Every structure is written in C-alpha cells, then in structure tokens.
Chain A
Amino acid sequence: MSGVIVNVLWRVFVGGVLLTWLAGCATNTGIKIDQETLSGIHPGKSTKKELFDLLGPPRAIAVQGRPLYIFQPLHKSDTALSASRANIDKPLQLQAEPFFEVFTPQNTLTYVHRVYFYYYAESRMYMLPFYEKTSLEIDQLLVLVNEESEIVEDVYFMPHPK
C-alpha cells in the first residue's frame, strides 16, 4: 500500500517539476476599452475633461504635420528581439497622418484638431524548453478632439480581430 502511495507521490512530484519548465507570462498595458467605456463618450457633447475622467490621459496625441512619439505596447521580450536592447524605453517615432484617416472625409479637419490615441494591449509569451513564442493583441481607440472648444467630435474604436 505504501509502495503505491510513494509511486503516486513520485509521479506527481516529477510531473510538477517538469511543469515548471512550461513557463509563460502575460502582461497588459492601458485601460480595458469595452462597450460600457465607449457608451460614456458622446461625440459632439463630451468634453476633454470628461474624456480624461473616463480614460485618463491618452497614450499619444496626434497633431497633423508633426511626428508622433509613442511607447510601443510590447512585452520586454518582444522588444528584446531588436539588436538594440538599450532602446526599450525610447519612444517610437511615427507619422501622425494615419490617425486622422478614419475621421475623413466625414469631418472637416483643421489645425485645431487632435487625435487622442488610447490602446489596451495584451502581450503573451509562451516558453518551452527549446522554444518560445510571443503574441500581441491591441484594442485601439481614436478620439477626435477639437482643442479650441475642448469637445470630443468623433470616436473610432478598433478592437483586435479575433
């Protein structure tokens, strides 16, 4: 009888030890953007202050004609793919124009408009002996704000394709 118990305990022990090799981790960045959050933003009515109360400060603000600086929503290991690991904490420079594309032609954009960029990113990493894999899913929210009137004029939500 005791032999059977020892045998079972031994198998559990060896299995448990081997399971520790199946490492993995998941990290997320930003505020979760769901339908409830979106229903709190009313284009044409909501103010910049109300937007900040709801979502906090944006991850980046796009200004037409100027470069946009953004910290990439990446897991450390993704970024470490790069040869320059020292650049992990440096923002990435992008063109601002793509952020305005979803708001044209239905909105007439002028120099007073900004796009506030929010995202919620989930990064996953799976590690096995001899193998590791990373993935990134991003929900993006673009909010068109008139800086003069401080009113939210339009909203565009892009959930990560499932």
Chain B
Amino acid sequence: MMIYLWMKRISLICCSLVLLQGCIPMVTKTETYDKLDVEKFKKIKLVGVSKHELIGILGLPLAVAKQNGTPMYIPKPFENTSKRLQPDVFFELFASKHDLDEHYVIYYYQHCSFTGYGLGILSYAEMPFFMPGKHITVDKLWVLIDERTQKVVDYRFGEDE
C-alpha cells in the first residue's frame, strides 16, 4: 500500500515539474561549439600553403586586409554589430619581420566561444536572463599571404578573453 502512495506522490511531483517548468528559474550552463582548435592549427604548417588550400582548411576569412584597401568590418562576438577597422592595423603585426608592400594581403579569422552560468527558464528556448558567470573567448588568426606566389608567408595567433 505504501508503495502506491509513493508512486502517486512521485507522479504528482513529476507532473507538477513538467507543468510548471516554464516558470522555474534554473541554473544553466551554456557553451557553443564554435571554437578554433588553436593547438590543432599550430601543428599544421601553414607557411607555404596556397591561398586556395588555406580556404579549403579554414573556410572564407572574415576579413581581407590590403594595403590602402577598403575598411574591414569585424563582427563583435555574439552580437549583430561590427567594428570598422583600417587594414593598416593588421600589417603592423608583421611589419617587424617582413618588408611589406602592396603584394601582401592578410586573411583574418576569428572564432568565438561562450560559456556562461546563470539563471534561466528551463522550457523557454532562450538564454538565461541573468548571467553573472559569462565568459567569452575570441581566438584570432592572422595569415600573411604573398599575392605573387599565392602562398602563406607567415601567420600569428591571438586570444582575447
């Protein structure tokens, strides 16, 4: 008899949880898959790889910097807005090692990952509404290409937190 009483209680609790889950604040951890595996790409010898092979490996760059070229628009992580940058800032990264002229271009890649702990509502397919433990990582890759040979000359990694 006791077991039936517990069955009823558990059933009632489960039903209540399901019915009320839209109103229950939950602690939620969220992360995205979009992470550049920096260690993996450090093992690949990018120098000497052709421009088309690079696009085959990493996809289209987010921006292409050309000397005196058009401004670049770099998306802010997990936002629908971009920041405008002049291409010259990217050339500064390689200026000390290379004698850069108009034959060089820089491909810029950026991958963002997000992990957060916060309060959310379970059944409401939205992100937590209060997230004090937000952590965004932006992995960046700059690839210097010589347009005459169409090959990668140098590259640099960077990370922002």
A24: nearest chain-B partner, CB-CB = B125
B5 CB–A CB distance under 8 Å:
no
Q: Residues of B contacting A64 with CB < 8 Å?
A: 70
Residues of chain B lying within 8 A (CB to CB) of residue A77:
125-127
Report if A81 contacts B (CB, 8 A): yes
Closest CB in chain A relative to B160 CB, distance in Å: 16
Residues of A within 8 A of B107 (CB): 98, 101
Complex CA distance for A78 and B113, rounded to whole angstroms: 11
**Given B28, B32, B75, B127, which contacts A92 in the complex, CB threshold below 8 Å?**
B75
Cβ distance A7 to chain B, nearest Cβ, rounded Å: 8
The distance in angstroms between the C-alpha atoms of A13 and B18, with both chains bound, is 12
Taking a contact as CB atoms closer than 8 A, the residue among A101, A132, A140 that contacts B51 in the complex is: A101
Q: Which residues of B contact A140 (CB under 8 A)?
A: 59-60
Per the CB 8 Å criterion, the residue count for chain B at the interface is 48
Known: A81-B127, A98-B63. 20 other contacts (CB 8 A): A17-B14, A18-B14, A23-B125, A76-B125, A78-B32, A78-B78, A79-B80, A81-B78, A84-B81, A92-B81, A93-B82, A95-B72, A101-B64, A102-B52, A127-B125, A129-B122, A131-B30, A132-B28, A133-B32, A135-B32
List residues of chain B with CB under 8 Å of any chain A CB: 4, 7, 10-11, 14-15, 17-18, 21, 26-34, 51-52, 55, 59-64, 66, 69-73, 75, 78-82, 107, 114, 120, 122-123, 125-127, 150
The 10 closest A-B pairs by CB, nearest first: A87-B80, A81-B78, A17-B14, A97-B64, A82-B79, A80-B127, A135-B33, A93-B82, A82-B78, A93-B73
Residues of A with Cβ closer than 8 Å to B?
6, 10, 13-14, 17-18, 20-21, 23, 25, 64-67, 72, 76-84, 87-88, 90-99, 101-102, 105, 125, 127, 129-136, 140, 158
CB pairs A–B below 8 angstroms (27 shown): A6-B7, A13-B11, A14-B11, A21-B21, A23-B123, A23-B125, A64-B70, A67-B73, A72-B80, A77-B125, A77-B127, A80-B126, A82-B80, A83-B79, A93-B82, A95-B73, A97-B69, A98-B107, A99-B60, A101-B55, A129-B26, A130-B26, A131-B30, A134-B30, A134-B32, A136-B34, A158-B60
